[in-house]
Structure 1
């Protein structure tokens, strides 16, 4: 299989998503960092990018459709990561109030309200508890989502055959 073939590139994108999700779970379960609501949404968007990349790699047909789906997931993830980066720049007195635990929200709120509340973020989302090379986790996520979006655009406009 040619390394630059669309199927190979989609599979490499899938592996990158697995690496991103694996890093998130490592930081949660091994380092002890609890994900905030926006972090959970970013994981869902990474999973979406990875799932559509894997399907595109296995299916091998209609790469433009999969590219669009990956682009939508990447843009959604970039939006949530960008919101979290913005929250991290706010002064403490301007932050939204903390949210109840997700389990409580699932038991007491309609799903549409839960999703809206999670996208809104909270003071928990503004806490910077880990950095690598001076960038926080949401900043790294934002860079990764921008990379996935660019990958999807290139794959969409890539000349076939």
Structure 2
């Protein structure tokens, strides 16, 4: 895989990151609005990190900086999917719990943000609840597992961007 990455320059690779994240968000929108799969709080948190990673890729592609800037974008592009992977991992952990150990389901997000102070609402959002233990599978894996795999891939591509030698193709 990495040998194929050597053939494209940093701008193209950052654009590829943006396109991958856009595809992930389109798939999430399709699952939510067409398949009626309601996202839990951890799913929404993971979406935030997908968007952040994609925006970083787009900005890096537009900016197309020299080595130092490329490495700075790549470092941020590693941190974002790693944080997203933490939330996907938490969701996988919740999904692996026996039914009697799954935390109770909480109120909806709009209610949480209306009633609780922002920091407490954010804490509730980030820790997840019983809704996050629901498993929807696609091709034999849960959505959280697929998202974790995607975050790992995005982090690896950004790691490649961080350590690669300058590629002056354009």
Same fold (TM over 0.5): yes
Q: 1:110-131, CA deviations, whole angstroms, 9 ceiling, x for partnerless residues?
A: 1111121111111100101x32
| Separation in structure 1 between the aligned mates of residue 106 and residue 157 of structure 2, nearest angstrom | 34
Aligned counterpart, 1:24: 28
1:10·1:54 contact (CA, 8 Å) conserved in 2?
Answer: yes
Deviation at 1:3, TM superposition (A): 5.7
Judge which range, 150-159 or 30-39, deviates more: 150-159
Q: Residue 152 of structure 1: CA displacement?
A: 1.1
Q: TM-score, normalised by structure 1?
A: 0.95
CA distance in 1, matches of 2:50, 2:157: 14
TM-score after normalising by structure 2: 0.90
State yes or no: 1:46 paired with 2:55: no
Q: Could you tell me which of 152, 156, 165 is aligned with 1:150?
A: 156
Encode CA deviations 1:6-63: one digit per residue, 9 max, x unaligned: 0000001100000000000000000000000000000000000000000000000011
Q: Which runs of 5+ in 2 are unaligned?
A: 1-5
8 A contact 1:20–1:46 mirrored in 2: yes
1:4 and 2:8 correspond:
yes
Q: CA deviation at 1:65?
A: 1.1
- Residue ranges of structure 1 left out of the alignment (5+ in a row): none
Confirm or deny: 8 A CA contact 1:97 1:123 kept in the other structure: yes
Matched, 1:95 2:102: yes
SS in 1 for 2:34: helix
**Divergent runs of 4+, >4 A:** none
**Structure 1 Cα separation of the partners of residues 105 and 165 of structure 2:** 48
Match of 2:146 in 1: 140
Matches within 5 A, 1:64-75: 64-75=71-82
Q: Distance in 2 between matches of 1:4 and 1:122?
A: 42
Alignment of 1:123 onto 2:127:
no
CA distance in 1, matches of 2:39, 2:93: 17
Aligned length: 159
Secondary structure of residue in 2 paired with 1:31: coil
What RMSD, in angstroms, separates the aligned Cα atoms of the two structures?
1.2
